[in-house]
Structure 1
Amino acid sequence: MNTKILYSALFVAALAVGTYFAIGGTSTPGGTGFDLAAQAQTAEEIDTSSIVEMTLGDENAPVKVIEYASFTCPHCASFHQNVFKQLKTNYIDTGKVHFTYREIYFDKPGLWAGMVARCAGPVRYFGISDALYAGQSEWLASRDLTGIHADLRKLAVKSGLDGAQVDACLADAEKAQAMYALFLKNAEADGIDSTPSFVIDGEKHSNMNYEEFTEILDAKLGE
């Protein structure tokens, strides 16, 4: 199945759930906060230029790694709590790897989490991302979209963001559409069909442990 069609179908299904989109706003059962007609547009028709790539490390590092992950994916949380910390210390912080993190949106909470992570800008993005992964089981615990939405807001405020700022971020439907459109473009271009997935110097790889990851990186680095 075409990746774009698959992701679009998943997202439309998520939007169809009866809940609200914006914190603090009124809602109608079945409402989404999105213009569903706009969602039917191809990703190329939506301006994504305002969505910043989230990166770590030296841009001139010899190896480029792109991670595709979802904030609601337990395997992604495990990777970030374990493998990623070691990769950052030994490869990213040492100038060997330039790392790019790209969000995948399988569901509405995943998109909300991405909006929360981006709320304070690139400087704080990875710190808030760490908090989202560390607390994933807690803010997803209610399994109720309204409860998850509220718990994400609490996490953001606990992480030092202003409540009104968080409300504005989560209510920005135009930005959400652009984020989703960019996700579609990138995921389709790199053939992403699971999370976490990695593109290392243009080659796609599935989830790996630290030893498997370092074997690939060291081979590319000639170590």
Structure 2
Amino acid sequence: MTKTLRFALAAPLALALAACGSDAADTGGEIEGDAVAAVPAPEGTQWSDTVTVTDMDGYMIGNPDAPIKLVEYASLTCPTCARFAAEGMEPLISEYVNSGRVSFELRNQIHGPHDLALATLVRCTADEAFIPLSDQVFANQQQVLGPIFENQAAVEQSLNLPPEQRLVRLAEVGGFYDFFAARGLSEDQARECLADEQAYTTIADNSTRQSDELNITGTPTFLINGTAADANTWAALEPILQRAGAR
């Protein structure tokens, strides 16, 4: 087991809360730019239909060549991230992504083993389901995490199992299989994904490496064209997007 994976599988509740809602990473300077023109989507489509898995293991929707590239580092267990999804995703997609001016990429920062299990499950089906499934977790976050908080001893016990069984058992404790089955991911498929130690180790390693390299100290953290935005809510982020040229 790598050092990174041991960290990701450590005390679940402490990790879930420690980095959520932290201040944004240090900003690299003012985010300003000239207004950019809308870019029409291919005929018969809208830009939010276009999904790209990036070389950072993020899932990007929108015009791949959009001049304004918005990245969010999020934890699926983070209430502040859930608030952003509730308040910001609809206007972000309808007014900015579908204009072709802005692309949106969601990347996971892992805050414990239950977060790692959820990040694995939202990757377990078609690429275009990643962001909708993540939004479903955010919208039902208390329901999803309730059994984890109520059964901490069982969660801890699951982490002592062989690697291919750890997240499989944790998902049983959390009731994750029923939640995702109701959203199109069968239990058999979910179990197969969670048993893939190499896959979930890669997610954990990417989270740690990128957090270290980009100074991502908490979630949500937003980057606009590589520069950290001083915002963790939609109300704060939208004016920055506009100053960047999405106007």
TM-score tier (shorter): 0.7 to 0.9
1:88 aligns with 2:93: yes
Give the aligned partner of residue 8 of structure 2.
Answer: 11
1:108 aligns with 2:113: yes
User: Contact 1:66–1:100 at 8 Å: present in 2 too?
Assistant: yes
For residues 201-220 of structure 1, what are the structure 2 equivalents within 5 Å?
201-220=225-244
Percent same amino acid among aligned pairs?
24
1:97 aligns with 2:102: yes
Give the aligned partner of residue 177 of structure 1.
Answer: 201
Query: Hey, what's the Cα distance between the residues in 1 that align with 2:94 and 2:79?
Result: 22
Structure 1 residue 213: deviation in Å? 1.5
Give the aligned partner of residue 161 of structure 1.
Answer: 185
Query: Hey, what's the Cα distance between the residues in 1 that align with 2:131 and 2:104?
Result: 12
Structure 1 residue 203: deviation in Å? 1.0
Q: TM-score, with normalisation over the residues of structure 2?
A: 0.68
Q: Give unmatched runs, 5+ long, in structure 1.
A: 16-48
1:191 aligns with 2:215: yes
- After alignment, is 67-76 or 150-159 more displaced? 150-159
Structure 1 residue 101: deviation in Å? 0.6
User: Which of the pair has the greater relative contact order for Cα pairs under 8 Å at 6+ separation?
Assistant: 2
Query: Hey, what's the Cα distance between the residues in 2 that align with 1:212 and 1:219?
Result: 12
Q: Give unmatched runs, 5+ long, in structure 2.
A: 13-53, 156-169
Deviations 1:12-67 (A, max 9, x none): 5238xxxxxxxxxxxxxxxxxxxxxxxxxxxxxxxxx9984311100111101110
Distance 1:107 1:206, change over 3 A: farther
Partner letter of residue 103 of structure 2? H
Q: TM-score, with normalisation over the residues of structure 1?
A: 0.75
Query: Hey, what's the Cα distance between the residues in 1 that align with 2:67 and 2:221?
Result: 20
Structure 1 residue 197: deviation in Å? 0.4
Structure 1 residue 85: deviation in Å? 2.1
CA RMSD of aligned residues (A): 2.4
Query: Hey, what's the Cα distance between the residues in 2 that align with 1:68 and 1:139?
Result: 20
User: Contact 1:56–1:100 at 8 Å: present in 2 too?
Assistant: yes
1:132 aligns with 2:137: yes
SS at match of 1:13: coil
- After alignment, is 80-89 or 67-76 more displaced? 80-89
Deviations 1:126-158 (A, max 9, x none): 121111111110011121255762321111111
Structure 1 residue 209: deviation in Å? 3.0
Distance 1:153 1:68, change over 3 A: same
SS at match of 1:84: helix
Structure 1 residue 9: deviation in Å? 7.3
SS at match of 1:79: helix
